[in-house]
Amino acid sequence: MRELLGKINPSYLLLLAVCFFIYLPGLDGPFIFDDVPGLAQNPAVATAPYPLDALTVTGPSDTAAYGRPLVALIWWTQYQISDGEPAFFHMVSLLLHMANCLLVFKLLKVLLPDSLRSLTGFIAFLWAVHPLLSETVLYASQQTELLASLMLLGTFNAAVRGHKITAAICCVIGMFCKEWMVVTPLLIWLAMSLGMGKPYLATLKQHKWFYASLAGSCLIVVALMMHYPRTQSTGNIDGWTNWNYLLTQTQSLNHYITQTLKPTRLAIDLWFPRAQSIGDIWFYAVGVIGLLIAWGLCLISKQRIGFWLACFFLILAPTSSIIPITTEIAAERRMYLPMLGLLVFFVYVLHYCMLKCDRPNVTGWLLLLGCLFLPAMTFERACLYQSPILLYEDTVAKFPANRRATRNLGSWYYEHQEYDKALLTYENVLSRWSNDVRLQLDRAIVLIKLNRLEEAIGIFEMHKTFINNDAISLSILGDCYRRLEQWDQAQQVYLQAIEVDQSNNYLHKTFLASTYARQQKWIQAIHWQKQALEHSDPIPETKRAEVWNVLGMYYGITEQYHLANTAFKQAQSSPDVTPPKVLEDARLNQLRALEMIDLQNKTKSKTNSPI
């Protein structure tokens, strides 16, 4: 044991300890955003009984595990161990990040330019504790990014040390984790050529079968993308063309570059306006073009720093080039490994300038200063991951023109029953985008919760043409009329919702039945309550008993006690899934119905008996 501990570099232990401490506040945070549909509610993860099911069951489209069966299997394993506890998933993410930190440390030792070898520890530490990585580490769904990065770093470390079989295996595994792994063969080629100082073509010829195996593994990604297309988030959607997206990505790349140097505007939900022409983005393009020129010169002169710039550009290329990903124009988690390449380049430029100024020690002192400040910034950011509201409040404060983030903040306030804050948020965003009908309707829903029903109805009626084909909005409007006891208007709206709703939702029909019941129009009430049971999509078993129970009461009021008895029996037919209170109500109602049946029978017998 002493020999083993003696081989462990103390700087490793310090790095791991600091990583654990700065991310500690976020470990107890809940599942956020895509974690819920893609992980907690994903049938391939949460309900699949066996490991094989996790590989074969198709989860929700366009979520993190969709088309990545290995990720689904790893999540299924974590779910079985932890029973879906978010803290366990976050701890696994942190352990993956720690493993990546060690691999980065080893890779830097081999592939850093000679002038930076003495700064290896500083660079590894700065990358490990940089707040730009916090989203990847504390957002459970981004274990996909962590796993792919682990496999890419494993491929690098194995390849540069001559372990080609291990490198090929890591590459194949990575292809099941994330699509950007297709750039691995090119990055390995540059690492072997620039890192080892060999000519480009000579490297290919010397290890042709190795590179062929790496390139062949890319077919895995092609096959998975064809079988699991991400049609809801990728492609020319909502007017986004490839050219628009490419131009807009200059803003994204500029944000990534500036946040690497000064991480003060980090946000969970980034959005940049669609660029229509070069004139819209020329200012942002200057820095990006400058880096591209520097990369080209480094490749031509065969300098090692060219490999690190390649890591920045090539890993980002699948998401930040010409293929529109319109649901996420930019995402800081994409910078997990690319930031390492950018960081090495900036340190290289800084050190070069200090050498020219005959101040070589200044570089080390500046990096030490960064090692002191960045952990504190990451710790502060990790605290935000304790609540989605904190994350979106932070985003809106930094990007007040981000309409989607502001609307999402209002939604989170609404979900947490902070209706006054939700209303204020919607009113603020409507002051910028007053013509946004969906935001107007969101505001109306909050007004309903605040019992300002007339105002809500006014908004819905103002946008009636917009909601005419939206059964949910129509049902909400009908509920407002029902609560104000405006029965005729409520019935008209509910009938329209029933006509629009292709799924034949039972709720619209039960609400409509209740309005007729309040008017004591029992024939119509019974008709629509029966329609809810007979001509709707399958009703959730937990709700079916309630519908039968209400139908039984309608029958009882109209003195159809035999039918009422049958309805109450049906309400008790699924005791395992029916709420206890509903079961008890149905049982008591059935007893009353039986009493009335007995009373009717006695009355009939007296009437029919001879005098």
Residues 243-252: tens digit of each pLDDT: 888 888 899 9
Mean pLDDT over 255-281 rounds to: 89
Residues 191-201: tens digit of each pLDDT: 888 877 778 88
pLDDT exceeds cutoff 60 at 45: yes
Residues 413-453: tens digit of each pLDDT: 999 999 999 999 999 989 888 888 889 999 999 999 999 99
- How is residue 203 written in tokens? 């490297």
Question: Helix or strand or coil: residue 270?
Answer: strand
CB 286 within 8 A of CB 199: no
Domain boundaries, the chain: 9-384
Mean pLDDT over 461-468 rounds to: 85
- The pLDDT assigned to 59 comes to 65
Between the alpha carbon of residue 260 and those of residues 84, 313, 357, the distances in Å are 34, 14, 24
68-102: burial string, b at 16+ Cβ within 10 Å, e else: bbbbbbbbbebbeeeebebebbbbbbbebbbbbbb
pLDDT exceeds cutoff 50 at 5: no
- How is residue 272 written in tokens? 């940049």
| 391 or 12, which is more confident | 391
Q: How many helices (H) and strands (E) does the chain have?
A: 31, 0
Q: Any idea what DSSP says for residue 234?
A: B
Mean pLDDT over 455-467 rounds to: 88
Residue 433: exposure state from Cβ atoms within 10 A (0-12, 13-18, ≥19) = middle
Q: Chain-wide mean pLDDT for the chain?
A: 87
Mean pLDDT over 29-56 rounds to: 78
AA identity, residue 26: G
Residues 169-194: tens digit of each pLDDT: 999 999 999 989 999 999 999 988 88
